[in-house]
Structure 1
C-alpha cells in the first residue's frame, strides 16, 4: 500500500512510535518468514538474477536494474526483466510494448521501458509484467530469453534465483532497523545475509569504494560476501539551470530527490511530497500548477512519477532522469556476469 515515509523510521534514536509499533513489526516479520518457509520455489531453465531490497523504497533499485540489464545485454545475454506491475489493473503476464499504459503495467515497467529504449543490439531487453512471475518467466524463455532479471525479488519466493543482489541506500541504510510498520524493513534484519551481494547506492565519487576505506556498511553484513558502492547522478535538462523550480514526487525517500536537485545547482522555490506510487489526479496537478504560478516556478519531478501523470499535464512538467555512473557499475557488472556465466556451459557470451 502506498505510504509516506515516516520521519521516525530514520531517526537517530528510537521514538515512541517505534516502541508502540514494535509488536506489529514482530508479527509482520513472523508472517513474512512463515510465508517464505511454506513456499516451494520453481526453478526455470535459465539463470535468474534478483534485484531487491530489505527496506521499503528509496534505494535506487529501478535505475540499478535498468543499468544491469543494459550492461548484461551488451555482454551478449538475452535479458528479460520480470516485474509484478505495482498499481496495474491487469494481472496476467504480458510483454511491455510502446503502446503499454500505466493502468495496465504500472509505473516501474514504464520507467524500465523508457530507460532501456532500443539499440542494445540484436536482442533488445524484454520487459514482462504480471502477478505470476513464474508464468512470465516461462513466456520470456519461450520468446528467446536466456537470462531472467527479477525486479524486486528479495521477498519473492515462488521463482528460484541463482544470484540475489540486495540494494541499500548508502546514507539512510537500515534506518532504525525495525520491521514495518515500526521501521522501514520488509523483513527482520538478519535476513539481509540471505542475499549474495550488497549494493550501497548514493551520490558521490564515480568509483567503487572498498570496505577497508571505512565507508558505511551494515555491521550485519557477512564479511565473506561482496559489496559494492554504486553511484547515481541526476541529469537535469540544461534549460532548468537558472530557472525557479517547484519539485514534487511520490517516492520512498522524497528528500533524496530534492537534495539531489539542489546539489545539481538548481533553484527550488518549493517542494511537495506525495505517498510512494501516488497516482496523480487532476486536482493534484491543478494545485501544483497554482503553486508553481504563485512562485513563478516550473514543475519538475522524477521519471517514475512522470509515468503516473494525467496525459493532459505531462507537457507542463519536466522529468529529471536518475542514472547510474558507468564507472561505478563496472565491478558489480563483472561479478554478476562472471557468476551467471559459471551456471551455463559452454559459456555463450564470450
Structure 2
C-alpha cells in the first residue's frame, strides 16, 4: 500500500468525517459484494468442495490482523493431532511461471510471495500457491494432505469450506464499520454473523461480540538472519539501540512488541509485502537490524551481518482450543479416510 493508501487506511480506522463523502461509492461496492456472494450461493458460479475438511482463515478488514500466525499455529496443532495438513495461499506479491506451485526449500520468495515462504519455513508442511484456489487444493491432495488450511481465504468463495475463522486486530478493531472505500471493511459487518469463529488478536480496544475468542502473539525467540542461530528472548542478543523494519499490514504492532521486550528501536515502516533492496537496509551507522519473520524471507542476502528476527507465535485461548477440538472431532467423522479422499479427487 502506498503512502497515500496508508493515510487513507489510518483515517478509515480512526473514522475521519471526510470519509462520508465516499459513501455513494461504498454503496456500489456493497452491491457488488452482495451480488458476487449470491452468485456462488445460487450455483451460478461454481463452488468446488474438497473431499477433505477445509478451514479458511481470513479477515473482513484491510491491513494486518495476525491471521498468518494463526494459520501457522493451526497447521502445527493439526499435525500434532495426527492430521496431515496443507496450507493454501494466493501468494500475494509473488509471481510464478506455473501454478499450482508447491513450495520446496529452493522456491524463491519472488515466485511464491512472502507469507507462503514464511509459513513453509515455520511449519515444514506442504504449502501451495495458486490464484485458482480449487486447483491449488487439488495439488495439496496429491501431496497427501487430509485437511486444508486457506490463508486469507475468506473471500475466495470458489473453494468450499467447512470452517471459517476471522481474525480481528484488537487495537484497531473494525474501524468505522464502513466498507471500502468509506471504511476498511472488505465485507459488511453482517458477514461476521455467518462465520464459525471470531478471534481477537490482542487486548481489544472495543467491546467484542459475544462468543469471540482471544489470541495473543507471543514472542518466542530471536533468530540471527545470517546463520539461523536462535537465542532466548532475554538477555537481548545485541546492545543499544537498533533499527527496526516492518513491511507488514500494521507495522506499529511490531514496534510496540519490541518496546515490550525492552528493545530501543528506531522504527522504519514499509508497505505491506514490500520488496526490499539493499539500499532499504542502509541507515548510515552500524546499529543492529531487527525485523519480522515476514520481512526476513525477503532480506536474506541483503541485510547486514548483525540482523535479527523476532519470532512470534500465536497463542489462542483455551476456549478456542476446546471449540476447535469439538469441531475437528465432528469433521473427522464426516469425511472418508485420507486414501479414499485422494481416490475421489
Q: TM-score range by the shorter chain?
A: 0.7 to 0.9
Match of 2:273 among 271, 277, 300: 277
Query: What residue in structure 2 maps to residue 211 of structure 1?
Result: none
- 2: CA distance, partners of 1:241 / 1:265: 12
Shift of 1:246: 1.6
1:112 pairs with 2:103: no
- 1:111 Cα deviation from its structure 2 partner: 0.9
Instruction: Note if 1:311 corresponds to 2:301.
Output: yes
Cα offset, 1:64, TM superposition: 0.5
**Structure 2 matches for 1:45-84, cutoff 5 A?**
45-84=51-90
The verdict on how the C-alpha distance between 1:171 and 1:335 changes in structure 2, with shifts beyond 3 A counting, is farther
Aligned to 1:4: 6
Aligned CA-pair RMSD:
2.5
Using the TM superposition, name which of 187-196 and 29-38 deviates more.
Answer: 29-38
Residue 83 of structure 1 contacts residue 127 of structure 1 at CA under 8 Å; is this kept in 2?
yes
Counterpart contact for 1:165–1:199, Cα < 8 Å: yes
Counterpart for residue 167 of structure 1:
167
2:230: which partner in 1?
A: none
Following the alignment from structure 1 to structure 2, what is the Cα–Cα distance between the partners of residues 336 and 258? 36
Report the equivalent of 2:100.
Answer: 93
Q: Shift of residue 20 of structure 1?
A: 2.4
1:92 is paired with a residue of what secondary structure? coil
327 and 31 in structure 1: CA distance in 2 versus 1, 3 angstrom threshold: closer
- Farther-moved stretch of structure 1 (195-204 vs 328-337): 328-337
Counterpart-to-counterpart distance in 2, 1:92 and 1:230: 33
Q: Which residue of 1 aligns with 2:18?
A: 17
Runs of 5+ consecutive residues of structure 1 not aligned to the other structure: 118-124, 205-214
**Unmatched tracts of structure 2, length 5 or more:** 40-44, 223-234, 340-345
Is 1:233–2:230 an aligned residue pair? no
TM-score, L = length of structure 2: 0.84
Matched position secondary structure for 1:312: coil
- 1:191-221 residue CA offsets vs partner (Å, 9 max, x unmatched): 12121111111169xxxxxxxxxx9544xx4
User: What's the CA shift for 1:335?
Assistant: 3.9
SS in 1 for 2:216: strand
Corresponding residue SS for 2:144: coil
Partner of 2:312: 322
**Which position in structure 2 is the counterpart of 1:255?**
252
Paired with 2:121 and 2:212, the residues of 1 have a C-alpha distance of 28
Determine if contact 1:29/1:186 at 8 Å carries over to the other structure.
Answer: no
Asked whether the equivalents of residues 79 and 146 of structure 1 are also in contact (C-alpha less than 8 Å), the reply is yes
Measure, in 2, the Cα distance between the counterparts of 1:316 and 1:24: 48
Q: CA deviation at 1:131?
A: 1.0
SS in structure 2 at match of 1:308: helix
- Answer yes or no: is 1:157 the counterpart of 2:157: yes
Range with greater deviation from structure 2 (226-235 or 61-70): 226-235
Per the TM alignment, residue 129 of structure 1 is displaced from its structure 2 partner at its CA by: 0.9
